[in-house]
């Protein structure tokens, strides 16, 4: 059965379908605000002939975003989000049809990359997405000591300022700061101004007994050089304050991050600082002497990346080692990528060209997505996810794609 995917024409029905799939609480402000950063022409739906009458059989949306790549370029990407299938329409090909539609539309728009945060890790590898970034969730005790002797002068010249995230001009400052820092931190994803406004919007029904989100800026020489978001939670034990401050993504140069980290572990009435999005090579673990300097540390997947157009995507980033390999790429949902490609990297620059030469190795396009931001992928050969025909060819590819520092986790979208 052919499944038609078309642009949404009924915002209320689109929103209602999303809220059924995600079973979130509906508030009066949802219709006006939940779609911020999700343009009307980037909402798509499926209606099966025998599907539900009052809701769509499936929906998805695309946020216009930018992502920084190894080498410092910041390029447009399709931020896939709001993917959902009605419970009565599952196992009927709706998701596959929507994913194929998304990839075709993205390619037609001239965008080479798609990215997402996966609600369930088992889903998106099937559609060519690779786990490109990992992130740590770290718990620290109040007063944790950070040791960084070669950053002390810069950190001492950095001041921190706590503001309400919803205050006028704050989200604009956040976005400008993130854009300025992005080239030095590959993997950073920057949303539209509306997306930042969405982060700051918290109607009373959602807050109840929660503190509003705060933003902590780091400033140096009168300029914003970093920020992080936070929310405090009250708790008292044995007549002692032992609250938790939940801290979001750090943005900024290392000295700015050091100043921010020192501030968030020394807030009054708090006993624990929970850092929700710390990159694998974030300097924080070095400042506290390694993983055992934490109260707890957990590792999760962050950004998943999909090469929508191999030929266009390959030269967008830089490469830290040379390679020249012929790769047989499998790609069920973007068939224009399937076949043999000569992938080269020389003096930092890459190119991808079609070839009839004998393949050195064979892999699914998701492997290229997993390594695209610099995350190490050498172990996938041992895992049996890559087939090598010429010994050493996969090592050449993996070394070329890997970066000295692991890619940056992104804010969830």
Q: Give the C-alpha separation, 242 to 226, whole Å.
A: 27
Among 124, 129, 195, 319, the active-site one is 124
Q: Give the C-alpha separation, 137 to 156, whole Å.
A: 27
Among 44, 127, 319, 413, the active-site one is 413
Burial environment of residue 132 by CB neighbours within 10 A (0 to 12, 13 to 18, 19 or more):
buried
**Helix 193-200 vs helix 170-181: angle between axes, to the nearest 10 degrees?**
130
Name which of 328, 389, 308, 358 is nearest 79 in CA terms.
308
CA distances from 92 to 47, 56, 123 (A): 12, 14, 15
* Residue 413 is among the residues annotated as catalytic for this protein: yes
* Residue 124 is among the residues annotated as catalytic for this protein: yes
Q: Give the C-alpha separation, 192 to 63, whole Å.
A: 8
CA distances from 329 to 56, 98, 400 (A): 34, 22, 17
Contact by Cβ (8 Å): 44, 5: yes
Contact by Cβ (8 Å): 218, 177: no
Looking at the chain, the number of H-run helices and the number of E-run strands are 13, 23
- What are the structure tokens assigned to 178, written together? 């993130």
Residues labelled catalytic: 124, 413
């Amino acid at each position: 059965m052919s499944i038609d995917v078309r642009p949404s024409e009924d915002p209320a029905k689109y929103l209602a379908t999303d809220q059924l799939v995600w079973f979130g609480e509906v508030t009066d402000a949802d219709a006006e605000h939940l779609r911020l950063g999700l343009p009307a022409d980037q909402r798509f739906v499926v209606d099966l002939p025998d599907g539900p009458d009052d809701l769509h059989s499936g929906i998805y949306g695309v946020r216009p975003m930018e992502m920084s790549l190894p080498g410092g370029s910041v390029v447009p990407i399709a931020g896939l989000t709001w993917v959902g299938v009605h419970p009565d329409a599952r196992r009927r090909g709706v998701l596959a049809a929507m994913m194929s539609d998304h990839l075709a539309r993205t390619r037609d728009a001239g965008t080479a990359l798609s990215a997402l945060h996966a609600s369930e890790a088992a889903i998106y590898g099937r559609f060519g997405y690779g786990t490109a970034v990992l992130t740590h969730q770290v718990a620290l005790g109040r007063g944790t000591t950070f040791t960084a002797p070669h950053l002390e002068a810069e950190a001492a010249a950095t001041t921190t300022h706590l503001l309400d995230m919803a205050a006028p001009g704050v989200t604009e400052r956040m976005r400008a700061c993130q854009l300025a820092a992005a080239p030095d931190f590959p993997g950073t994803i920057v949303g539209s101004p509306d997306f930042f406004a969405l982060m700051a919007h918290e109607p009373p029904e959602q807050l109840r007994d929660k503190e509003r989100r705060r933003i902590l800026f780091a400033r140096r020489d009168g300029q914003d050089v970093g920020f992080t978001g936070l929310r405090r939670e009250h708790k008292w034990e044995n007549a002692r304050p032992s609250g938790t401050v939940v801290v979001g993504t750090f943005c900024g140069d290392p000295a700015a991050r050091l100043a921010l980290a020192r501030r968030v572990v020394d807030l009054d009435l708090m006993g624990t600082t929970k850092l929700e999005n710390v990159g694998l090579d974030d300097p924080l673990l070095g400042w506290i002497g390694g993983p055992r300097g934490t109260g707890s540390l957990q590792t999760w997947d962050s950004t998943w990346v999909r090469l929508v157009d191999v030929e266009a995507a390959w030269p967008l980033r830089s490469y830290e080692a040379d390679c020249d390999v012929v790769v047989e790429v499998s790609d069920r949902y973007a068939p224009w990528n399937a076949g043999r490609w000569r992938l080269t990297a020389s003096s930092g620059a890459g190119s991808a060209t079609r070839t009839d030469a004998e393949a050195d190795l064979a892999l699914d396009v998701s492997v290229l997505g997993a390594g695209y931001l610099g995350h190490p992928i050498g172990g996938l050969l041992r895992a049996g996810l890559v087939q090598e025909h010429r010994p050493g060819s996969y090592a050449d590819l993996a070394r070329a794609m890997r970066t000295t520092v692991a890619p940056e986790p992104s804010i969830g979208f």
